[in-house]
Amino acid sequence: MALTSSSSSSAITALLKPHLQLSNEPIISFSPSFFTLSSKPLLSSSKPNVKINFFSSQTAVSLKWRTEASIFSGLFTKSKDIKTLKDELFDAIAPLDRGAEAAPEDQQRVDQIALKLEALNEIKEPLKSNLLNGKWELLYTTSQSLLQTKRPKFLRPNGKIYQAINVDTLRAQNMETWPFFNQATANLVPINARRVAVKFDYFRIVGLIPIKSPGSGRGQLEITYLDEELRISRGNRENLFILKVVDPSYRVPL
């Protein structure tokens, strides 16, 4: 049976009707940053789109990683700077015979390096740190009472000089070696977390003969840099002391 034009039109419309209705179905569109779900037709939208950001958690992780990396990098740089300065300091004081052979320009150079290290000091309360304990060898000082540069060299302390500190008992001890072996012990009275008043109580001549302090042996000492190897201190007369630990287990006699 032949199809008329009207019947053909009706048949075509019936076949296309399901596809024409697709324009009223929900659609899902994709964009680089978001997946957007719309419940309305494409050409007319009266409700806000629901947007799910799949990259926010990745961004937070990335920011956290960059922050931690920055902190780590800063700590690494600081440690590298400290090591470089310490090496520079040891090289500067090595030929100076504890400071007895230091010219004014040598003293200035050592002081400048010490100031840079003090600025990087991580131990803010050294009097509460166990790193302060033990016997320390004096590597350099500007103190004339220790160097005795006005005496003939054979009458100066020619051997090593040590200082020991006990944090728990707040006791200190100075020890000369060859040729005199003199010693002095003192009580430390905290002024703040890094400065102490030093009150000597006994001296030992030739390491044997004890002499009680007449009470005039007093001073102050500020610990301006401290780590597991190096200690820098400054006295109340602006003297500089640089020491290196030799025996962390040593105890000062009571």
Residue 173 is assigned to a structural domain of this protein: yes
Range(s) of the domain holding residue 114: 81-247
Residue 130 is assigned to a structural domain of this protein: yes
Residue 43 is assigned to a structural domain of this protein: no
Cis omega before residue 190 (within 30°)? no
Please measure the distance between the N-terminal and C-terminal CA atoms of the chain and give it in whole angstroms.
127
Residue 87: predicted pLDDT = 97
What is the domain-level CATH number for residue 115? 2.40.128.280
Tens of pLDDT, residue by residue over 85-137, are: 999 999 999 999 999 999 999 999 999 999 999 999 999 999 999 999 999 99
Pick from 60-74, 110-124, 133-147: least confident: 60-74
Distance of alpha carbon 189 from alpha carbon 191, whole angstroms: 6
Residue 174 is assigned to a structural domain of this protein: yes
Region 126-155: mean pLDDT is 95
Residue 229: predicted pLDDT = 97
CA 48 to chain CA centroid, Å, is: 52
Q: Of 85, 166, 69, 91, which Cα lies nearest the Cα of 121?
A: 85
The number of folded domains in the chain is: 1
Residue 11 is assigned to a structural domain of this protein: no
Q: Of 210, 215, 220, which Cα lies nearest the Cα of 172?
A: 220
Distance of alpha carbon 223 from alpha carbon 128, whole angstroms: 12
Residue 165 is assigned to a structural domain of this protein: yes
Distance of alpha carbon 50 from alpha carbon 31, whole angstroms: 13
Residue 126 is assigned to a structural domain of this protein: yes
Give start and end residues of each alpha helix (H) in 21-103. Answer: 56-93
Q: Which of 47-51, 127-131, 156-160 has the highest mean pLDDT?
A: 127-131
Residue 72 is assigned to a structural domain of this protein: no
Residue 123: predicted pLDDT = 97
